[in-house]
Amino acid sequence: MRTFVLTSFLLLACFAAGFFIAVTERPPYGTLFRAYDAFRRNPAVDAVYDRLRGVPSTPPPVAPKADKHENHHWNLMAERTGDETDAEIEAARQAVEGLAYLQSYEKATGKKNVTVHDPARSQPGLNLFTNAVAPAAHLMDQAGNRLHTWTIAFEEAFSESGAIRGPGYRYWFYSRLFPNGDLIAVYPRHGIVRLDKDSRLLWAVSGDYHHTFDYDSGHGTIIGLRRGDLRPASWSAADSTWHERLVTLDAATGDVLREVSLIDAIEQSEYAALLQHASGPNPDRLHPNTVQILDGRFERIHPAFKKGNILTSFRNLDTIGVVDPGSGLLVWALTGLFDHQHRPNFLDDGTLLVFNNNPVRGQSEIAVLDPLTQERVWSYEAEGFYTRICGVAWPLANGNVLASESQAGRAFEVTPDGEIVWEYYTPERRGENGEMIPTLFEIYRYPTDYADAWLVRKDS
């Protein structure tokens, strides 16, 4: 009996010590993390882990079937007829695996514009969204009325000759509205522009910018994501990897002020083992898709969450992380809970709201997680709710969540108890017969009076 008590006490003490090291990330956390990571990546262990999680041995299709179309800006990869040329297949593969997405993925249904609106339970406001119809952003009320549009032709924004044009010059992926009516938008893989309320060009910066950026009002800067050249990667199954960077620009002029290498940030940190997570020959090893500048409110939870650090997401590593731009290092990471996730952001209570795409299951999820205990505080799943690419979830002031189901061209607002109280479908259609619905990249809700200083309403 005495031996049993002593053994139990020692095991409990070891567990408590391990828990303390894991939560505080004190030495020897780095060594333990690398040992655990090597153990978890063993194929036999991985198979058992997936069996316990209920992951099917044969993954479901990653995208619904869609008709082949000759212009290759739709979902050629979803259905192969056998008569495509090698060049056609390669063009489609690069579009799917790259950071400039296809303009349509799914067949359209009869649903258009606002299909659900419960004024009593939905959050009032103005909705800013971008889709794959054109290089444009639209401001829309809760009834679906478009109140204002910003747009500029690619040729006008980037007039220099010889600009390489991929799919991303046809649309904006993300945009952000300022109180004076100015708007900054991303042409994925082509550059960033700033327009005034009348769509007059204020500045344009060429470059392989993609996904998103965040605005630092204290410094008057934006921090975005930019892909660089291929560089050797000894840790990769591919011969090389894209060199991704966090880039700081002057929000008033577009001048580049600073760059931080995301490859170096991981490779030189205690989390270097994460780079082994992505498999296959694709050089898009990281696929970062998030930038959120931390305001310091949650440094009390963990020192990595100090003011000025950057919350980001590495889709192809199934990892959320925090980068310290001062040291240039990844200082915190959370992995193993997501599958190709997008756009995590901190909520007011210090939890993380994450859009979990889940392509291995073909079932997307919106989850709220405790960043330290990894507890799932809340989650939303529904039959048919799935987007393999993109997707974002934003918290609303009334406690609801506003989500973009990108491939379906759909946005919806969901309550904490899982009720849909507002729903919107892109009304435009693509294709010779209007059979495809354009991708809806992101939608964000501003307060109802956010644009009062400059917006001329039709009913005024």
Q: Based on the fold, state whether residues 279 and 371 are members of the same structural domain.
A: yes
My answer on whether 85 and 204 are in the same domain is yes
Residues 179-209: pLDDT tens digits? 999 999 999 999 999 999 999 999 999 999 9
Q: Is residue 42 part of a domain?
A: yes
* 434 has pLDDT over 50: yes
pLDDT, average across residues 66-84: 40
Same domain assignment for residues 118 and 138: yes
Q: Tokens 């959050």 appear where?
A: 123
State whether 75 and 206 are in the same domain: yes
- Please check whether residue 176 lies inside any domain of the structure: yes
35 pLDDT above the threshold of 90: no
Shared domain check, 27 and 97: no
User: Residue 431: its pLDDT value, please?
Assistant: 83
Q: Is residue 454 in some structural domain?
A: no
Q: Are residues 144 and 228 in the same domain?
A: yes
Q: Is residue 388 part of a domain?
A: yes
Among 20, 37, 58, the domain-final residue is 58
The one-character DSSP state at 318 is: T
Count of domains forming the chain = 2
**Residue 156 resides in a domain:** yes
Query: Residue 378 corresponds to which tokens in the numbers above?
Result: 């809340």
| Whether 66 and 30 share a structural domain | no
Give percent of the chain with pLDDT exceeding 90. Answer: 67
Pick from 384, 376, 371: which is nearest to 320 by CA? 371
**Least confidently predicted of 4-13, 96-105, 249-258:** 4-13
Do 42 and 69 belong to one domain?
Answer: no
Domain boundary at 42, 58, 74, which? Answer: 58
Residue 419 sits in a domain whose CATH number is 2.130.10.10
Task: Note whether residue 460 is domain-resident.
Answer: no
The helix (H) or strand (E) run that includes residue 157 is helix 154-157
Residue 428 has pLDDT above 60, yes or no: yes
Tell me if 320 is assigned to some domain: yes
Final residue of a structural domain among 12, 33, 58: 58
How many whole angstroms separate alpha carbon 124 and alpha carbon 142?
A: 7
Q: Are 358 and 379 in contact (CB under 8 A)?
A: no
Answer for the pair 165, 159: CB distance below 8 angstroms, yes or no. Answer: no
pLDDT interval class at 3 (50, 70, 90) = confident
Quote the CA–CA distance of 317 and 272 in Å, as a whole number: 11
Go through the chain and tell me how many residues it has.
460
284 in the same domain as 220? yes
Average pLDDT over residues 379-400: 96
Does pLDDT of 91 surpass 80?
Answer: no
| pLDDT on residue 68 | 31
Q: Are residues 347 and 383 in the same domain?
A: yes
Distance in angstroms (rounded) separating the CA atoms of residues 414 and 402: 7
Nearest of 306, 362, 292, 373 to residue 337 by alpha carbon? 373
pLDDT tens-digit series, residues 231-268: 887 766 667 889 999 999 999 999 999 999 999 999 99
pLDDT in tens, 311-352: 999 999 999 999 999 999 999 999 999 999 999 999 999 999
pTM of the model: 0.81
CA terminus-to-terminus distance, the chain: 83
Residues 6 or more apart whose Cβ sits within 8 Å of residue 4:
none
Same structural domain, 142 and 189: yes
Q: Is 453 among the domain residues?
A: no
Residue 5 structural domain: 1-58
Verify that 33 and 84 share a domain, yes or no: no
pLDDT score at 165: 77
pLDDT grade, residue 310 (50/70/90)?
very high
132 to 213, 385, 407, 442: CA distances (angstroms): 19, 20, 10, 10
